[in-house]
């Protein structure tokens, strides 16, 4: 099964939940953590995996054969991303704008456009004890995380329970991460900001037909807005982690909750059982 851990608001505890789940399950089934936050990966910090392979991620960008080009401009007309411009005797490509869709090379009547790979990031994989691990890193200055996230998800082990640590927010990288998962756990905090971003995250999950449930982190602070919203929307609250300074202190030392306080592992196993049951039913509400 593929379980995505997302949030909406950043800093709510996605990685804490993802890594704690992995450590709590590692003795019961094959588990794999995929760090899909390729702009700011951090799941490797509490897990400390030993990496054994890494590979560049490339996006195909157009290369124009000046001998064959007739400067007809059809490639420029068809490009949705303004990555190619044509004047009477010149073709300019803008590789950083190119999304690698291949339309230009497809429509070129002279067959003058071929594709070459432009490196945008890397994916690495390895192991943290019994937990398999893979993660990606987008090169600094690159605007599009999608291709690297897809490369990370491509390393998913179909025989394992795959836990996707999603990026914060609700835009393209998050959609790319959550899409196709069997279930999405939304980690939130019981505050107005937490609630505001949670509602958007729920909309995203529903839009792409991924059933979701909520984990409330730092419970005990803030207000009951999140609880009331979840009750009203029929979204199950599957775990509550209290606001406890000791949890924050341990995390700052690089120890995730299930490692610093092993008594929590049973709770995470029960969380996983609930998720598996809900995913089987496949209900969104």
Partner 1 sequence: MRIAVSATAPHLDADLDPRFGRCQYLLIVNSESMEFEATENPAMSAPGGAGVQAAQAVINEGADAVVTGDCGPNAYQVLSAAGVPVFVGASGSVRDVVAAFIRGEFSPIGAASASPGAGMRGGRAR
Binding status of residue 88 toward partner 1 by CB under 8 A: yes
Q: What are phi and psi of 137, to 5 degrees?
A: -140, 120
What does the DSSP 8-state code read for residue 49? P
Report the residue count for the chain: 285
Could you say which of 20, 24, 76, 125 contacts partner 1 (CB under 8 A)?
Answer: 76
Please state, in angstroms and as integers, the Cα–Cα distance from residue 140 to each residue in 58, 129, 187, following that order: 14, 30, 27
What sign does the CA torsion over 137, 177, 259, 31 have?
Answer: negative
Q: Which is nearer to partner 1, 77 or 273 (CB)?
A: 77
Q: Which is nearer to partner 1, 92 or 231 (CB)?
A: 92
Could you say which of 56, 63, 87, 280 contacts partner 1 (CB under 8 A)?
Answer: 87
Query: What is the footprint of partner 1 within residues 105-164 (CB under 8 A)?
Result: 143
Dist CA 64 CA 114 (whole Å): 7
Binding status of residue 83 toward partner 1 by CB under 8 A: yes
The token pair at 109 is 């009547």
Nearest alpha-carbon partner for 200 in 2, 7, 1: 7
Dist CA 93 CA 85 (whole Å): 6
Q: What are phi and psi of 212, to 5 degrees?
A: -135, 160
Stretch that binds partner 1, among 86-94, 145-153, 160-168, 225-233 (CB under 8 A): 86-94
Could you say which of 45, 51, 74, 85 contacts partner 1 (CB under 8 A)?
Answer: 85
CB of 85 to partner 1, least distance (A): 4
Binding status of residue 172 toward partner 1 by CB under 8 A: no
Nearest alpha-carbon partner for 96 in 143, 62, 147: 143
Q: Which is nearer to partner 1, 27 or 82 (CB)?
A: 82
Q: Which is nearer to partner 1, 34 or 86 (CB)?
A: 86
Stretch that binds partner 1, among 35-43, 78-86, 196-204, 212-220 (CB under 8 A): 78-86
Could you say which of 97, 237, 260, 261 contacts partner 1 (CB under 8 A)?
Answer: 97
Residue 112, class by beta-carbon neighbours within 10 Å (0-12 exposed, 13-18 middle, 19+ buried)?
A: buried
By the criterion CB under 8 A, which residues form the site for partner 1?
Answer: 73, 76, 81-83, 85-88, 90, 92, 94, 97, 143
């Amino acid at each position: 099964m593929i379980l995505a851990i997302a949030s909406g608001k950043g800093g709510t505890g996605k990685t804490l939940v993802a890594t704690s789940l992995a450590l709590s399950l590692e003795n019961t089934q094959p588990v794999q953590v995929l760090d899909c936050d390729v702009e700011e990966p951090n799941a490797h910090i509490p897990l400390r995996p030993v990496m054994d392979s890494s590979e560049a991620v490339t996006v195909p960008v157009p290369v124009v054969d000046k001998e064959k080009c007739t400067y007809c401009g059809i490639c420029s007309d068809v490009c949705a991303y303004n990555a190619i411009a044509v004047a009477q005797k010149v073709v300019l490509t803008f590789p950083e704008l190119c999304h690698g869709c291949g339309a230009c090379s497809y429509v070129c009547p002279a067959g003058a456009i071929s594709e070459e790979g432009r490196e945008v990031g890397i994916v690495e994989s390895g192991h943290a004890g019994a937990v398999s691990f893979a993660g990606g890193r987008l090169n600094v200055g690159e605007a599009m995380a999608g291709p690297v996230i897809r490369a990370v998800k491509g390393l998913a082990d179909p025989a394992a329970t795959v836990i996707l640590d999603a990026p914060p927010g609700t835009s393209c990288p998050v959609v790319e991460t959550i899409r196709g998962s069997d279930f999405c756990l939304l980690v939130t905090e019981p505050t107005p900001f937490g609630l505001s971003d949670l509602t958007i995250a729920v909309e995203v999950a529903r839009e792409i037909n991924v059933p979701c449930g909520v984990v409330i982190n730092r419970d005990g602070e803030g207000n009951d807005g999140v609880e009331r919203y979840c009750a009203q929307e029929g979204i199950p609250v599957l775990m509550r982690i209290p606001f406890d300074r000791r949890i924050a202190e341990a995390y700052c030392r690089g120890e995730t909750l299930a490692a610093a306080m092993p008594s929590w592992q049973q709770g995470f196993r029960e969380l996983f059982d609930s998720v598996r049951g809900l995913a089987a039913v496949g209900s969104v509400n």
